[in-house]
Amino acid sequence: MTKSQLNKVLTPFIAIIIFLILWEVLVWAMGWPNYKMASPSDLLPSYKNYWPLFLEMGWQTLWRTILGLLLAVAVGTGLGMVMGFSLTMRDALYPLLVGFNAVPKATVVPIIALIFVGQHNFNTVLMAFMISFFPIAVSVSIGLSTLEPEYRDILRSLGATQRQIFWKIALPKTLPEFFGALKVSVTLAFIGTNLMEIVSPHGRGLGALFDSGKINSDYPLMFAVLIALAVLGIVLYYIVVALEKIFAGWADRQPG
C-alpha cells in the first residue's frame, strides 16, 4: 500500500475518532443527561445488549435501500438520457421533476402507505427510489446535453451511429457527473428508507428499532440507531467511491 493510499484510509478513520472524542467531551462538559444527548460511551451498552437486533434490522434497512438505489439508477439514467438528447423532453420534464422533488417526502409516506396497504417492503423500496433518483437524472441530463457538438459532427462524418456516439463519447463523459450524483443519492436513499420505517411503522428495519427506543424512552438506543445508520451510509458511500475508481478513475487524476 502506497503512502497516498494509506493516507486515504487513515485520514477518515482519524477524523471519526476525533469526532467521537469531541462528542464525548462536549456531553461531559455540558453535563447533559443521556435523555438529552447521549455520549458515545452511552451507546456501547445498547450495541452490546441489542446486537442481534442491530444485525437483523440493519440488514433489512440495507437491502431495501440498495434495491431502491438500484431502481433510482436505472430510472434516473433513463430519464437523464431522454432529457440529455432531446431539448423538448428536457423542457417538458424538468419542471415536473423539480416540482416533484420539492414536495416534502414525509408528506408522501402516508399516501404511499394508504395506496399500497400492507406492502411494507414495496413501500420502503419505493420511497428510497423516489427520494434518490432526481440527482442521477439531472446529472446524466447535464452531462449529455453539454456534449460538444463538434464531437458528434466528426463521428457522424466518419459514419458513426447515434448508439456508437453514446457508448464511445457521451457515456464516458457523463460518468464523473453520474458518480458524483450517486454519492448524493446513497444518503438520500437511506433517508427515504427510514422515513417509511418511522412514519409508517411496520416493525422492520432500523427505523423500527429507533421507534422502539422512543416508545421505551431508551434514548441511548435511539442515538445508537442513528450511528448505525451513519455507518451503513459511509460503507455504501465508499462502495460507490470504489466503483468510481474502477469506471471513472481517469477523471480524478491529480496534477504532477
pLDDT in tens, 170-198: 778 788 888 989 999 999 999 999 989 88
Average pLDDT over residues 142-160: 75
pTM for the predicted model, two decimal places? 0.86
Q: What's at 81, amino acid-wise?
A: M
- Measured between alpha carbons, how far is 216 from 143 in angstroms, rounded to an integer? 49
Pick the more confident residue, 96 or 1.
96
- Measured between alpha carbons, how far is 80 from 248 in angstroms, rounded to an integer? 18
Nearest 5°: CA angle at 83, between 82 and 89? 95
Q: Which residue has the cell 442491530?
A: 54
Q: What's at 106, amino acid-wise?
A: A
User: Over the stretch 32-52, which tens digit does the pLDDT of each residue have?
Assistant: 888 888 889 989 999 999 999
pLDDT at 12 over 90: no
pLDDT recorded at residue 10: 84
